[in-house]
Structures are given as C-alpha cells and as structure tokens.
Structure 1
Amino acid sequence: MGMTYRRYLAGARVYGCSNCRTHLSTINSMISKAFHGQHGRAYLFEEVVNVIEGEPVDRQMTTGNHTVRDIECVKCHVILGWKYDFAYDSDQKYKEGKYILERNLLVDVQ
C-alpha cells in the first residue's frame, strides 16, 4: 500500500482535522452551523475532502430515519462525522449527499 494522496484547499477559511490538521473543507462549502453531532455542535457541508467513507447504515436521528456513512480522516483515522446517503422524510432530502463535521473535531488551518 502506497502513500495516501491528500488534497490541499485554499480560501478565506479552511477547516481541518483537529488531530492532524489535514484539510477537510472550506467556509464556502458550509451550508449550516445549526446541526448537532454525537458530541455537540456540528456543521453541514456541501463538500468534504480527505475522508474515508464507511459502510451505509440506517440511523434514527432527531429529524427522522436516514441512511448515513461515518467519515474518518484519511491520515489519522479519527471519525469526524457522517455523510447523508438517503433521507426517508421528504422534507429532509436536502441533506442527501451532504456531510456533517463535528465542531469540536475541527480547527482553522489558515
């Protein structure tokens, strides 16, 4: 197995993994700060890079049933949040294909 290729992001504000500072997303990709993760506040992002997606699982959340995949940092393997694959409720469809990152697991890297 070779070295893992990581993307580096540029912009006014870049969010990275708090453990290893690997770039994950930018402020321009952020959709909302009004989410809750497993460990407190979380952000919803349109695009996230440098993560490994786990297997899809159905989870009952406060907003209904969703099919999600845990996402982990490609470098240090800390679980950072999840990706929404499918929302069973029609009013939650906007989350499909989007990512949740836990606020306490992010740092500003620029």
Structure 2
Amino acid sequence: MSEFIGPRLYCCYKCRNHVSLHDDIISKAFQGRHGRAFLFSHAMNIVVGAKEDRHLMTGLHTVADIFCGDCNEVLGWKYERAYEASQKYKEGKFIFEKSKIVKNEW
C-alpha cells in the first residue's frame, strides 16, 4: 500500500511560504532575470506589485512583479498584457524564478 501524498508544492526559498503547485507548471523553458524560470498558471500567497511595461526577450509586455506574501521577497512577475498575438497565452500567468523557489519536501 502506498501512503497518501499531498500536492507537490513550491515554496519561497527564503521563508518556505507555499506559492504554487507543481501541477500548475505550464513550461520550464523560460528565462528570468537571474537564470531559468518556470511559467505557472496559478500562484498563491503572493502580492502583485504595480504594473509596468517591459521589453522582454519575446517583446513588449505589461508585467507586475510578484512578491512572497510572508517575507516580501521578489519571486518573479505576472504577465498582465502581451502586445503580440503570439504571446497572448501568457496573460494572467506567473513567472517564478527557479532560484527563488524550492520544492516542499518531495
């Protein structure tokens, strides 16, 4: 018999606050400010900062930095708007920098 295993969670690397589920990963092939990054469909226990336009590798986007809801560490950003049609799938999604999140006991 196998034991029940709860959802696989990602946490803030600094304070271990739960910020997203492994099942919400859309892609691991993204680039953040500090290296690899993951695109997630959902996030939790975060604070979304002010919107701003940024020129990213895939063009102009309106984004907002996302912060850990407990320790206020910058973890990545949320895509608010994509200006190119091919990038619209990112709207409402979250980038977490790989270096800013850790797996929670799995």
TM-score (norm 1): 0.89
**CA deviation digits over 1:29-87, x for unaligned, max 9?**
00000000000000000000011000100000110000000000011110000000000
Is 1:22 aligned to 2:46, yes or no?
A: no
- Give, as a single letter, the amino acid of the residue that structure 2 aligns with 1:62: M
- Give, as a single letter, the amino acid of the residue that structure 1 aligns with 2:11: G
Taking only aligned residues, the RMSD between alpha carbons, in angstroms, comes to: 0.7
* Percent pairwise identity: 49
Residue in 2 that maps onto 1:108:
103
Counterpart-to-counterpart distance in 2, 1:41 and 1:29:
17
- Give, as a single letter, the amino acid of the residue that structure 2 aligns with 1:55: A
Where in structure 2 are there 5+ consecutive unaligned residues? 1-5
Where in structure 1 are there 5+ consecutive unaligned residues? 1-9
- Give, as a single letter, the amino acid of the residue that structure 1 aligns with 2:33: Q
Counterpart-to-counterpart distance in 2, 1:67 and 1:102:
18
Counterpart-to-counterpart distance in 1, 2:72 and 2:79:
19
Is 1:36 aligned to 2:57, yes or no?
A: no
Is 1:84 aligned to 2:79, yes or no?
A: yes
**CA deviation digits over 1:5-40, x for unaligned, max 9?**
xxxxx41x2100000000011111000000000000
- Give, as a single letter, the amino acid of the residue that structure 1 aligns with 2:58: T
Counterpart-to-counterpart distance in 2, 1:81 and 1:105:
8
Secondary structure of the 2:50 match is coil
How many pairs are equivalent?
Answer: 100
Name segments (4+ residues, structure 1) moved above 2 Å.
none
- Give, as a single letter, the amino acid of the residue that structure 1 aligns with 2:62: T
Secondary structure of the 2:42 match is coil
